[in-house]
Amino acid sequence: MRKNLEVLIPTFNRTTALTLTLLSLVYQEEKKFDLIISDQGSRESPMSNPSFRTVIRLLEIKGHYVKFIHRKINKGIAEQRQYLLDKVKAKYCLYLDDDLILEKYVLKGLFNVIKKEKCGFVGRAVTGLSFARDKRQDQQDIEFWREHVETEKIMPGDRKWFRFKLHNAANLYHVEKKMKISSENQKIYKVAWVGGCVMYDTLKLRSVGGFEFWKQIPKNHSGEEVYVQLKLMEKYGGCGVIPSGVYHQELPTTIKDRSVNIPELLFNGFPY
């Protein structure tokens, strides 16, 4: 039976981290999802690792179809995301970074919100637990959606853009603790963008072009999801969900050259 949610994981040379990420998917409260993993690593395939294979088998015996693809072609992360999107058959898709650990309520909570709000995307910002004692009061402003998610136009550098500070370090974690927000009373809030764990309405994502712009940009870049989310917010709306329940493993980035920022590049005269 086809499921309404597919989890998409682009990965590159992170077998151990990816294994932990997948293990946290095994015990999700939301049971009805499949996975597509696209590996562009230059090293040996994760499938050669016994621990990785065991977690894949565990997901499979719990009813999840797992498609693992090892690609020799590497044209950048935007192309990798579009490659995954082209394979989606489900109504919703969740892009998940390969270096996260998820609480059991994460997928179910996101799924409930996007079905209720009917917006373009919903996401959970990642928490760096090494910052758990680093309380940055000046970066903890949060704006909740009082009723339903609405469309917003946000451009790089405008007032709303600086909402991104809430997602730095462990700011969101401190807010949820201070306000006693749990998975039982989760709330939706206004964002500039969300990285790491984002669920999209597949048709809405495709309607704004997905990541097809990869063909017009340099291979080395960053901010491809930011650009897409800004377009989705303007047309359909988008939101963050608190509590996060998503923890970053805090590994060095595998995208070394981040000099080309896609929102700045494409919003400055690029006719897409």
Query: In the prediction, which pLDDT does 223 show?
Result: 85
| Nearby residues of 38 by Cβ (< 8 Å), 6 or more positions away | 8, 9, 10, 11, 69, 71, 80, 83, 84
d(CA 73, CA 55): 26
- Give the model's confidence band at 271: pLDDT under 50 very low, under 70 low, under 90 confident, else very high: very low
Q: Give pTM, 2 decimals.
A: 0.95
Q: Is 181 helix (H, G, I), strand (E, B) or coil?
A: coil
d(CA 134, CA 15): 30
Q: pLDDT for 59-89, tens place per residue?
A: 999 999 999 999 988 898 999 999 999 999 9
What are the angstrom distances between the C-alpha of 28 and each of 87, 102, 103, 124, 229? 23, 8, 8, 15, 25
Query: In the prediction, which pLDDT does 235 show?
Result: 98
- Give the model's confidence band at 270: pLDDT under 50 very low, under 70 low, under 90 confident, else very high: very low
pLDDT at 258 over 70: no
Q: Residues 112, 115, 120, 126: what is their CA dihedral angle, to the nearest 10 degrees?
A: 10
Query: In the prediction, which pLDDT does 272 show?
Result: 32
Query: In the prediction, which pLDDT does 73 show?
Result: 86
Query: In the prediction, which pLDDT does 269 show?
Result: 46
Summary mean pLDDT of the chain: 94
Measuring CA to CA, which residue among 108, 121, 100, 129 is closest to residue 199? 121
Q: pLDDT for 181-240, tens place per residue?
A: 999 999 999 999 999 999 999 999 999 999 999 998 888 888 899 999 999 999 999 999
DSSP-derived pairing of the beta strands 100-102 and 197-201: unpaired
The type of residue at 111 is F
**What domains are defined for the chain?**
5-267 (3.90.550.10)
Helices 224-235 & 77-85, crossing angle to 10 degrees? 50
Q: Is 69 helix (H, G, I), strand (E, B) or coil?
A: strand
Token duo for residue 197? 């764990």
Min mean pLDDT across 35-49, 62-76, 256-270 is at 256-270
d(CA 190, CA 50): 42
Q: Is 9 helix (H, G, I), strand (E, B) or coil?
A: strand
Q: pLDDT for 2-16, tens place per residue?
A: 689 999 999 999 999
Q: Sign of dihedral through CA atoms 93, 13, 16, 123?
A: negative
